[in-house]
């Protein structure tokens, strides 16, 4: 089994080779310039590589790009084998990266939270405290209160 550093180096090499070949070497119109390789992961035994990609466009363009990558898989694997110089060239699996969709969902949730915060801020703009503005006793007030309580107690005992 290979070490993690070797798998990382091979994953980086695969990402670079696939991106360059998609940009310059493959003439498939389905791939075009709207396919971006975002990440590559290689298993510990260096036999399988997963290539994550994103596509700029709608669902139809995503489906076309997926079909284009599947048809170009053999050419891309042979280019990776030439560049890597390893005993066994890893098999390539292309997976649509969910990162842009996840980021969009997070942005939507943050916008909702901002709107909710703004509503709370507007509702509390004219609000006043339920009690006094400063509900805590001050040290000098507690001494005065203690003297007043003692005076009340002496008045009660005197009666």
pLDDT tens digits along 2-35: 578 888 999 999 999 998 888 887 887 777 778 8
Closest residue by Cα to residue 80 from 4, 18, 27, 3: 18
Higher pLDDT, 100 or 148: 100
Residue 113 has pLDDT above 90, yes or no: yes
Structure tokens at 140: 């000098």
Q: What is the dihedral of CA 68, 72, 73, 76, to 10 degrees?
A: -130
Question: In this predicted structure, what is the pLDDT of residue 157?
Answer: 55
With CA atoms as reference, report the closest residue to 83 among 3, 1, 21: 21
Is pLDDT at 122 greater than 60 in this prediction?
Answer: yes
The number of beta carbons lying within 10 Å of the beta carbon of residue 109 is 10
- Which two three-digit tokens encode residue 115? 């709107």
Q: What is the pLDDT of residues 35-91, one digit of tens each?
A: 888 899 999 888 999 999 988 878 888 888 888 888 888 888 988 988 888 889 899
Give 78 or 136, the one with higher predicted confidence: 78
- Terminal C-alpha separation, the chain: 96
Give the relative orientation of helices 59-71 and 73-84 as an angle to the nearest 10 degrees.
60
Which pLDDT does position 106 carry in this prediction?
93
pLDDT averaged over the chain? 82
The whole-number pLDDT of residue 60 equals 86
Q: How far apart are CA 7 and CA 10, in angstroms?
A: 5
Strand 48-55 with 91-96, pairing: parallel
């Amino acid at each position: 089994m290979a070490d993690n550093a070797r798998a990382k180096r091979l994953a980086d090499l695969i990402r670079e080779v696939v991106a360059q070949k998609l940009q310059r070497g493959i003439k498939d119109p389905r791939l075009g310039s709207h396919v971006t390789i975002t990440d590559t992961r290689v298993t510990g035994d260096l036999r399988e590589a997963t290539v994550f990609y994103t596509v700029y466009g709608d669902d139809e363009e995503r489906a076309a790009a997926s079909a284009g990558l599947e048809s170009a898989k053999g050419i891309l694997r042979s280019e990776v084998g030439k560049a890597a110089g390893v005993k066994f060239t890893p098999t390539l699996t292309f997976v649509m990266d969910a990162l842009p969709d996840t980021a969009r969902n997070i942005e939507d949730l943050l916008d909702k939270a901002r709107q909710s915060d703004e509503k709370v801020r507007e509702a509390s703009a004219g609000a006043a405290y339920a009690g006094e503005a400063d509900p805590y006793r001050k040290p000098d007030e507690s001494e005065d209160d203690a003297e007043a309580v003692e005076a009340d107690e002496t008045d009660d005992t005197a009666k």
